[in-house]
Amino acid sequence: MLRRSMIVALSVFALAVVGYQAFGQRFLNGIEWPTPPVVTPGKEDRDPPSDAVVLFDGKSFDEWGGAKDWKADEDGGFTAKGAIQTKKDFGDCQLHLEFASPKPAKGSGQGRGNNGIGLMGGRYEIQVLDNYENKTYPEGQAGSVYNQRPPMVNASRKPGEWQSYDIVFTVPRFDKEGKISKPGNVTVIHNGVVVQNHTEIIGYTYFDRPTSYSKHPEKGPIVLMYHGDPVRFRNMWVREFKELEGKPGKKGVEGK
């Protein structure tokens, strides 16, 4: 009897779904959304989409300040020789880049393949480090929100091999008095592996003092934070994004 009741219930549910699909009915939740703009993806996931700003294409350093007279390597990468930052400012954004730690590996801990991706002018750092069979403190590993939150896993490749970061960053918001109203957050994908999942940033990523927030503009440059190691970079692009904003609309069931 119970089995028959379940079959009847499932049949009724299936008919309801078919009915809604056939007549084009759906429930309106009271929000009217704009049509999302069209963005053409790159041929591969690593390639810049149509709305991206290409920061380094294997040839030009035109988007960077501090890279005067720098030259690209034969394979389209470059070796960091100092700190550089983008000439343009960015807010909420998606950032893609690839890096390779020095080979052969030298040093240990924080002294091995150390660099960083500084968001908002370096206020918030995503750590770059050679963590292949190289121990260090967890919140200083590759993929960490430096000195705040370790990566969930260590996805590092061997020294000399190209690695990728895909970073989605939301800028902190401040009220009129300069107090934090909405903390920033970041998602980091390291070599295709999620290592930070919408992680809340709790303030500036200081090395030598307690973290805290201080009001700053909603846009700032991206910084490659040089720490003395010849880390290589290539294929860098960024795209700012803005969440769609809905407006009040109809609510209830809509017919075809």
Q: Show the domains of the chain with their CATH numbers.
A: 2-33+247-254 (no CATH), 53-240 (2.60.120.560)
Model pLDDT, residue 256:
55
- The pLDDT score that the predictor gives to residue 254 is 79
E-strand stretches of 71-202: 78-79, 84-86, 93-100, 115-119, 124-128, 163-170, 173-174, 180-182, 185-190, 193-200
- In this prediction, residue 1 carries a pLDDT of 58
What is the reported pLDDT for 9? 56
Find, among 100, 95, 58, 80, the residue nearest to 225 by Cα.
80
Q: Average pLDDT for consecutive 10-residue bins of the chain (256 residues)?
A: 58 53 74 91 92 96 95 93 97 98 94 96 97 96 98 98 98 96 98 98 94 96 95 97 87 77
Q: Which residues of 114-150 are buried (b: 16+ CB within 10 A; e: fewer)?
A: bbbbbbbbbbbbbbbbbbbebebeeebbbbbbbbbbb
Q: Which two tokens stand for residue 137?
A: 């403190």
Helix, coil or strand: residue 4: helix
Peptide bond into 104 cis (omega under 30): yes
What confidence score (pLDDT) does residue 249 get? 86
pTM for this model (two decimals): 0.88
